Structure 1
Amino acid sequence: MSNKSLPVLGVVIVTYNSEDVILDCLESLLAARSVRLHIVLVDNASTDRTVETLRDWASGATAHAPPADAPFAVPVSAKPLVLHEAAPGDAPADAGLTLLHAGVNGGFAAGVNLGLAHLAQRPEIGRFWILNPDSLVPPETPAAFAAWPEPEGGFSLMGGRLLYHDAPERIQGDGGRYNRLTGVTSNINFSRRHAEAAAPSAERFDFICGGSMVASRAFYERAGPLPEDYFLYYEEVDWAQRRGGLPLVHCPSGIVYHRAGTAIGSPTMSRGPSVLSAYFLHRARMRFMRRHHPASLPIAYGYGLAKAAQFLLKGHRAQAAALLRALHGAGPPVALCAALGPGALRRLSAGSLQTRSLPESPGA
C-alpha cells in the first residue's frame, strides 16, 4: 500500500457483533494487488468481542487461520499491523487501517457516513467502497473497482457481482431494481449460475447492492451522506435516487463473495428472514415508498398485509407480528431490543435516526 503510482481506493466497513467474520474480510483485503487501500472500520458499539478481536489480530497476539471454506486461497498478512483507533473526527486521515468507535449502534448508514466523512478528508481518494464485513474479496477486485474506466461526465455508484460464499457458483446480485407500486426490491441475476450469466447493462439498475457499493467523490459531494432514518435496508435504494444525471456503473470484474445474513438474518436461498430482518425490511420499504412514491402507499401496505398472511400460513408467527408492527409504525418487537443495544432503541423511539439533513434530489 506504499506505491504512490497505484490507484487509490477508500474502503468503509461497518461492524456490529462481527467477530466471527471480520478477520476473514480484512485478510482478503490486505492481499489486494495493484491498488492502494485506505481501510476504515466503523464499529457500531458491538456487544461481542469484535473490537478485542481486531486488536489481538492486528498486534499478532492471536493467530488467524484462513477460512477453510473460502472459495479462493486467502493468505495471512504479516503482523503486527498498525491499527489506529479513535472516536470519529479524532483519527489521523492518512492512516492505512483505522478503527472508528461510533459509540452507539446508529444503524448501517450512520456507521457508513462516519467512515465516508473520515475518508473524504483525503483528496486523493476519488472512490469510496462500502463493503459488508461478512465478505471475502479476491485479490484483483479492489484494483478493478479503483481503476474501472470512468464514463464521460463521471458516475454516481458502481457495483460488481456479489456471489454467495456458501454457494460460490450462484449469484446473489449484479445490481438491483424495485417495484414502483409495492417498493419490493429484486437483485438482477439472482440465483443464476455465475459462469452462465452475462454481465448486465447498468441501464437496467435502479440501485447498487449495499453489500459492495462504490461511490464516486463527485456523487458523494453532490448527493450528501446516506440517509440514516432507515436504520437497516433501503439506504442504498434511497441514495441512488439522488444521483441526478450521474449514471450507475457495473464493473464485471468486481467480484465479492458474501456470507449473506450473518449479522441480521437477511433471507438467503435456503433460509427465510429472521424476525429482525422482517421488521426492518418492511419498516424501510414503507418509509421509502412514503418518501418517493406516496401515491402507491395503499398498494405497498396491501402487499405487506399479504406478506404477513403468508408468514402466518407458514407458521412464522413472530415474523408476521414484526412485519405488522413495521407496517403500522410501531417500534421493534421486545425480543429484538437486546440485540439492537440501548442507544439504537433510544434513537428509534425518538424518531431521530436522521442526524444529517438530506439535500434535495438533484434534478427534482
Structure 2
Amino acid sequence: MISKVAIIILNWNGWEDTIECLESIYQIAYPLYDIILVDNGSKDNSIQKIKDYAEGKIKVESQFFDYSPDNKPLYLKEFTKNELDSSVSIKKSIDSLAPNKNLIIIKNDNNYGFAEGNNIGIRFALNNLNPDYILLLNNDTVVDPYFLKELITVAESDSLIGILGPTVYEYKSPQVIQSAGAKIYWNKGEVINLTPNENKYSDEPENVDSVIGCALLAKSELFHKIGYLNKDYFAYLEETEWCVRVSKASYKIVYVPKGKIWHKGGATSNKITGFTLFHHTRNKFWFMKKHSSKKQYISYLIYFFGFRAWMIIGGIFYRQKNKEILPSLISFLKGIRDGILT
C-alpha cells in the first residue's frame, strides 16, 4: 500500500519562489500526495499569481527542470482561516480532488510566522486528508524528482524513525551541500548543519540530532503524540525544538543522503532588518532553558556572553549597511532580553 503524504508550503510575499517550488513538486516520481499552500497574509498579490500559475498562465523557468504544461490546470480549492476555524464542513469539498494534480490554498488573515503558519496547514491535513506523513517544505526550495520516494523508503524501513530530512544543496551552487542533517552542541547552544566532505560522503541514512526545517518529513502520528511546532517561536529553531521533543519520545531523527533538494535560504527573513537576529537570539535562550541540563545552560551562558555575543556584534558592524546597524543592534539586544526574561 502506498503511503499518502501531505506537503505543507508556507508563502509570504514570495510567489515567484513558490511557483518554482510547486512546479518541481508536480514533477516528482511519487504517486500519492496533496499540496497545501498556506499564505501568511501576503500583500504582493501572491494568491492571484499562484492561481495564474495553477491555471497554466505563468510559465516557470528554472535551471533544475523544464516547465511542463501537461499537468495544468491544477484542481484548486481555497479556504480562509476563518472558514477552517468555523464549523463549516471542509472534508466533503475536497474529496473530489485528484491526487498529484491539486492545490489547496489556505488564506491567513495575518502573518502567523513559520511555526503557526505550518501548524495551520498540518491541522488541516490531519483533519481532512488523513495522510500517513506530513512534509514541511520551504517555498524557496526546488526538489529532485526522486527525493520524496527516497525519504519514504527509509521511513518505512524502521517503525522507530519519526523524522527524516534530505541532503540540502545550495541553490546558487548546486553541488555544494548546505545541510546533511544537524548536530546540537549543548554546551555552546549551537545547532550546526552537517556538511560532509565528498570523500566521506555515504549513501547510507544516518541518525542525527535534527534536520533543517526547509524540508522535514514526519510521520503523522507524531503530531498526535508529541504536539505541534511551538508557535511562540514564530520563526527559527522551532524545527530543532520539535526534533528534540520527538527524540525524547524515543523516535529516531534520520538524514537521507539520496533525497535531494536545493535551497535558496533567507528568501523571506531577509526582507526585514533584524528579524533573524531577534528571533534566533530569543529562541536560542528559550530552547536551552527548556531542553538543556542546568550544567549545559550555565556553560551556554558563559560561552554566549563571553564570546558569541561579541562575535555577533562585530558581524553587525562589518556586514550591515550604516542605516541598518542600529536597528540590528536593537533587535539583537531585545532578543537577549526577551530570551532571558520570558
TM-score range with shorter-chain normalisation?
0.7 to 0.9
Query: CA 1:300–1:281 in 2, change beyond 3 Å: closer, same or farther?
Result: farther
Identity %: 22
1:185-236 C-alpha deviation (Å, 9 max, x unpaired) = 110117x55x863357533x21111000001022222111111111110001
Choose which of 64, 75, 97 in structure 2 pairs with 1:82: 75
Query: CA 1:25–1:76 in 2, change beyond 3 Å: closer, same or farther?
Result: farther
Q: CA deviation at 1:301?
A: 4.2
CA contact (8 A) 2:3 2:132 kept: no
CA distance in 2, matches of 1:63, 1:234: 34
Query: CA 1:155–1:122 in 2, change beyond 3 Å: closer, same or farther?
Result: farther
CA distance in 2, matches of 1:26, 1:315: 33
Q: CA deviation at 1:290?
A: 2.2
Choose which of 83, 93, 104 in structure 2 pairs with 1:98: 104
Match of residue 250 from structure 1: 255
CA distance in 1, matches of 2:74, 2:129: 24
Aligned pairs (5 A) from 1:252-331: 252-265=257-270, 275-293=274-292, 295-296=297-298, 298-299=301-302, 301-302=304-305, 303-314=307-318, 316=320, 317-318=325-326, 319-329=328-338
Query: CA 1:312–1:100 in 2, change beyond 3 Å: closer, same or farther?
Result: closer
- Residue type at the aligned position of 1:27: E
Query: CA 1:38–1:290 in 2, change beyond 3 Å: closer, same or farther?
Result: same
Match of residue 178 from structure 1: 184
1:140-194 C-alpha deviation (Å, 9 max, x unpaired) = 122222333524433221111001111000001011112212322110117x55x
CA contact (8 A) 2:17 2:139 kept: yes
CA distance in 2, matches of 1:187, 1:238: 15
Match of residue 344 from structure 1: none
| Structure 2 SS opposite 1:209 | coil
Instruction: Please tell me whether residue 64 in structure 1 is matched to residue 59 in structure 2.
Output: yes
Query: CA 1:211–1:149 in 2, change beyond 3 Å: closer, same or farther?
Result: closer
TM-score when scaled to structure 1? 0.79
Number of residue pairs matched?
315
Instruction: Please tell me whether residue 212 in structure 1 is matched to residue 215 in structure 2.
Output: yes
CA contact (8 A) 1:9 1:146 kept: no
| Structure 2 SS opposite 1:207 | coil
| Structure 2 SS opposite 1:314 | helix
Query: CA 1:77–1:137 in 2, change beyond 3 Å: closer, same or farther?
Result: farther
Q: CA deviation at 1:315?
A: 5.8
CA distance in 2, matches of 1:312, 1:57: 39
1:81-136 C-alpha deviation (Å, 9 max, x unpaired) = 22100024254454432001122111101011111111113575211110000111
Match of residue 339 from structure 1: none
Query: CA 1:187–1:315 in 2, change beyond 3 Å: closer, same or farther?
Result: closer
Give the alignment's Cα RMSD to 1 decimal: 2.6
CA distance in 2, matches of 1:86, 1:261: 27
- Residue type at the aligned position of 2:42: S
CA distance in 1, matches of 2:230, 2:204: 27
TM-score when scaled to structure 2? 0.83
Choose which of 38, 41, 44 in structure 1 pairs with 2:40: 44
Aligned pairs (5 A) from 1:102-251: 102-122=108-128, 124-189=130-195, 192=197, 197-199=201-203, 202-203=206-207, 205-243=208-246, 244-251=249-256
Q: Which is worse superposed, 94-103 or 23-32?
A: 94-103
- Residue type at the aligned position of 1:277: T
Match of residue 54 from structure 1: 50
Match of residue 30 from structure 2: 34
Query: CA 1:123–1:98 in 2, change beyond 3 Å: closer, same or farther?
Result: closer
Query: CA 1:279–1:36 in 2, change beyond 3 Å: closer, same or farther?
Result: same
Structure 1 stretches lacking a partner, 5+ long:
267-272, 331-350, 352-364
CA contact (8 A) 2:203 2:258 kept: no
Match of residue 270 from structure 1: none
CA contact (8 A) 1:44 1:106 kept: yes
